[in-house]
Structure 1
Amino acid sequence: METSLSWITYPLFRLTICLATGIFLFDRFLPEGVSWPLWGGICCVLLCVGLLRLAVWRWRWFFGGVTGLAFFLWGGFSVVHQREKVGYAWDEAPQVYKGIVETVPEIRGKTWRAEVHVEGRHITKGTWQKVDRSVLLSWIPDTVAEPLSCGDTLCFYAKISRPFSEKELTGFDYGDYLLRKGISGTGLVYAGNWYRAGKPRWLTFSQRARVCQQKVVEVYRSWGLDEEVQAVIAALTIGDKSDLSTDLKNVYSAAGASHVLALSGLHVGILSGFLFLVFYPLTYWKRYGRMVRMLLVVTLLWGFAFISGLSSSVMRAVVMFSLYAFASCCSEERFSGIHSLVLAAFLMLLYNPFFLFDLSFQLSFAAVASILAFYPLCTRGVVIQNRLLRYLFNLLCLSVSAQVGTLPFVLLYFGTFPTYFLLANLIVSPLAACILVLTLMALALSSVPWLGSGVVVLLDWSTSFLNGAMRMVQHFSGSQITSVYLSAGQACLLAGIFICLYLCWSAGMQRKARQWICLLVVCNLFVALSVGMYLQEKPERLYFSRAEIYTRKGHCISTHTSDSGLIRIGTLCVGVLDDGRWKNCQASWRLPLDYVYICRGFKGNLSRLNDLFEMKQVILDSSLSEGYREMLIKECQLLKISYTDLSVQGSYSIEL
Structure 2
Amino acid sequence: MEFESALFVVKWWKRAPFLRIIAPLVAGITLQLYIPVNPVWYITAACCCMAGVSAFRFLPLQWRFAAAWLPGILCSLLICCCGGLLLYNADIRHSKDFYDRYLVDTPFYLLRINEPPQEKPRSFKTTAQVIAVCKEDEWLPVKGCLLLYTGKDSLLPALHYGDELIARKRPEFIKFSGNPGAFNYQQYMVTQQVYQQVYLGQADFYLLPYNRGHPVRRLLLQARDYCLYNLKKYIGNGPEAGMAEALLIGYRQDLDRDVVQSYSNTGIVHVIAISGMHLALLYSTLLWLLQWLPAHSWMHVTKAVIILVVLWGFALLTGASASVLRSAVMFTGITVGRFVLHRYSSIYNTLAASATILLCFNPYLVVDAGFQLSYLAVLSILLFYQPIYRLFEWKRRWADWLWQMTAVSLAAQLITTPVSLFYFHQFPNYFLPANLIAVPLSTLIIYGEVILLLLSPLGKPAVWLGSALKYMIFGMNSCIRWIGELPGAVIRDIHCSLAQTVLLYLLIAVLALWLLVRFRPGLWMGLLCIWGFLIARVSWVTACKRQCSIIIYNVPAYTAIDCIKGNLVQFAGNDSVWQLPVAQQLLNTRANLRAHAGTPASFQQYGRFLSFEGKRILIIDSALPGLAPPEKFKTNYILLTRNPPVNIRQLCDFYAFDTLIFAASNSARRIEKWKSDCDTLGMQYYSIGDQGAFILTCR
When normalised by structure 2's length, the TM-score is 0.82
Between the aligned partners of 1:211 and 1:30, the Cα distance in structure 2 is 42
* One of 151, 156, 168 as aligned partner of 1:157: 168
Q: Answer yes or no: is the 8 Å Cα contact 2:315–2:324 preserved in 1.
A: yes
Please list the CA deviations of residues 222-250 of structure 1 after superposition, one character each: whole Å capped at 9, or x if unmatched: 44624322222222221122233443332
Deviation at 1:451, TM superposition (A): 0.4
Match of 1:41 in 2: 44
Between the aligned partners of 2:503 and 2:662, the Cα distance in structure 1 is 43
Deviation at 1:649, TM superposition (A): 2.2
Match of 2:113 in 1: 101
Match of 1:15 in 2: 21
Change (3 A) 1:382 1:12: same
Change (3 A) 1:385 1:3: closer
Change (3 A) 1:23 1:652: same
Match of 1:258 in 2: 269
Q: Counterpart of 2:142 in 1: which secondary structure?
A: strand
* One of 619, 629, 650 as aligned partner of 2:661: 619
Match of 1:651 in 2: 693
Q: Answer yes or no: is the 8 Å Cα contact 1:565–1:577 preserved in 2.
A: no
Return the structure number with greater relative CO, CA threshold 8 A, min gap 6: 2
Please list the CA deviations of residues 229-278 of structure 1 after superposition, one character each: whole Å capped at 9, or x if unmatched: 22222222211222334433322111111111221102222333344445
* One of 253, 260, 280 as aligned partner of 1:249: 260
Deviation at 1:520, TM superposition (A): 2.8
Match of 2:539 in 1: 532
Match of 1:184 in 2: 195
Between the aligned partners of 1:466 and 1:585, the Cα distance in structure 2 is 66
Change (3 A) 1:353 1:320: same
Match of 1:221 in 2: 232
* One of 74, 78, 87 as aligned partner of 2:82: 74
Q: Pairwise mapping of residues 488-499 of structure 1 onto structure 2 (< 5 A)? A: 488-499=498-509
Q: How many correspondences in the alignment?
A: 644
Q: Answer yes or no: is the 8 Å Cα contact 1:104–1:149 preserved in 2.
A: yes
Match of 1:467 in 2: 477
Match of 1:234 in 2: 245
Which deviates the most, 39-48 or 357-366?
39-48
Q: Does 1:58 align with 2:58?
A: no
Between the aligned partners of 2:9 and 2:488, the Cα distance in structure 1 is 51
Which deviates the most, 91-100 or 76-85?
91-100
Q: Does 1:546 align with 2:558?
A: no
Which deviates the most, 382-391 or 309-318?
309-318
Change (3 A) 1:375 1:595: same
Match of 1:29 in 2: 35
Deviation at 1:462, TM superposition (A): 1.5
Match of 2:586 in 1: none
Please list the CA deviations of residues 279-331 of structure 1 after superposition, one character each: whole Å capped at 9, or x if unmatched: 55x27x55578876665444432232232133333222122112122223356
Q: Answer yes or no: is the 8 Å Cα contact 2:662–2:687 preserved in 1.
A: yes
Between the aligned partners of 1:552 and 1:267, the Cα distance in structure 2 is 48
Please list the CA deviations of residues 199-223 of structure 1 after superposition, one character each: whole Å capped at 9, or x if unmatched: 2144154454345434533443344
Between the aligned partners of 1:584 and 1:75, the Cα distance in structure 2 is 61
Deviation at 1:82, TM superposition (A): 1.4
CA RMSD for the aligned pairs?
3.7
Change (3 A) 1:207 1:356: farther
* One of 375, 379, 398 as aligned partner of 1:388: 398
Change (3 A) 1:5 1:447: farther
Amino acid at match of 2:258: D
Q: Counterpart of 1:536 in 2: which secondary structure?
A: helix
Please list the CA deviations of residues 593-614 of structure 1 after superposition, one character each: whole Å capped at 9, or x if unmatched: 6544444565666688789877
Q: Does 1:195 align with 2:189?
A: no
Between the aligned partners of 1:477 and 1:417, the Cα distance in structure 2 is 14
Q: Answer yes or no: is the 8 Å Cα contact 2:42–2:82 preserved in 1.
A: no
Deviation at 1:94, TM superposition (A): 8.8
Between the aligned partners of 2:345 and 2:676, the Cα distance in structure 1 is 71
Match of 1:329 in 2: 339
Q: Answer yes or no: is the 8 Å Cα contact 2:642–2:665 preserved in 1.
A: yes
Q: Answer yes or no: is the 8 Å Cα contact 1:595–1:618 preserved in 2.
A: yes
Match of 2:360 in 1: 350
Q: Does 1:570 align with 2:612?
A: yes
Amino acid at match of 1:109: P
Match of 1:137 in 2: 148
Amino acid at match of 2:376: A
Change (3 A) 1:469 1:598: farther
Change (3 A) 1:132 1:461: same
Q: Pairwise mapping of residues 576-655 of structure 1 onto structure 2 (< 5 A)? A: 594-600=636-642, 602=644, 617-622=659-664, 624-633=666-675, 642-655=684-697
Between the aligned partners of 2:382 and 2:175, the Cα distance in structure 1 is 41
Q: Does 1:444 align with 2:454?
A: yes
Q: Counterpart of 1:240 in 2: which secondary structure?
A: coil
Between the aligned partners of 2:301 and 2:11, the Cα distance in structure 1 is 22
Q: Answer yes or no: is the 8 Å Cα contact 1:424–1:470 preserved in 2.
A: yes
Change (3 A) 1:390 1:531: same
Match of 2:579 in 1: none
* One of 157, 161, 170 as aligned partner of 2:181: 170
Q: Answer yes or no: is the 8 Å Cα contact 1:210–1:309 preserved in 2.
A: no
Between the aligned partners of 2:672 and 2:531, the Cα distance in structure 1 is 57
Change (3 A) 1:8 1:448: farther
Please list the CA deviations of residues 367-392 of structure 1 after superposition, one character each: whole Å capped at 9, or x if unmatched: 00000000011112532122221121
Q: Answer yes or no: is the 8 Å Cα contact 2:42–2:84 preserved in 1.
A: no
Amino acid at match of 2:554: S
Q: Does 1:405 align with 2:402?
A: no
Q: Which runs of 5+ in 1 are unaligned?
A: none
Amino acid at match of 1:396: T
Deviation at 1:636, TM superposition (A): 5.6
Between the aligned partners of 1:622 and 1:609, the Cα distance in structure 2 is 19
Q: Answer yes or no: is the 8 Å Cα contact 1:232–1:463 preserved in 2.
A: yes
Match of 1:113 in 2: 125
Between the aligned partners of 1:559 and 1:222, the Cα distance in structure 2 is 49
Please list the CA deviations of residues 503-524 of structure 1 after superposition, one character each: whole Å capped at 9, or x if unmatched: 22221xxx44233333333333
Deviation at 1:116, TM superposition (A): 0.8
Q: Does 1:486 align with 2:496?
A: yes
Please list the CA deviations of residues 615-651 of structure 1 after superposition, one character each: whole Å capped at 9, or x if unmatched: 6643224454443334444666789864323344233
Identity of aligned residues (%): 22
Amino acid at match of 2:427: F
Change (3 A) 1:441 1:627: same
Which deviates the most, 353-362 or 523-532?
523-532
Q: Answer yes or no: is the 8 Å Cα contact 1:590–1:612 preserved in 2.
A: yes
Which deviates the most, 473-482 or 160-169?
160-169
Please list the CA deviations of residues 329-381 of structure 1 after superposition, one character each: whole Å capped at 9, or x if unmatched: 35666544222211101111122211111111100000000000000111125
Deviation at 1:18, TM superposition (A): 1.7
Q: Answer yes or no: is the 8 Å Cα contact 1:575–1:593 preserved in 2.
A: yes
Between the aligned partners of 1:202 and 1:638, the Cα distance in structure 2 is 50
Q: Counterpart of 1:132 in 2: which secondary structure?
A: coil
Change (3 A) 1:624 1:590: same
Between the aligned partners of 1:97 and 1:335, the Cα distance in structure 2 is 50
Q: Answer yes or no: is the 8 Å Cα contact 1:101–1:114 preserved in 2.
A: yes
Q: Answer yes or no: is the 8 Å Cα contact 2:235–2:469 preserved in 1.
A: no
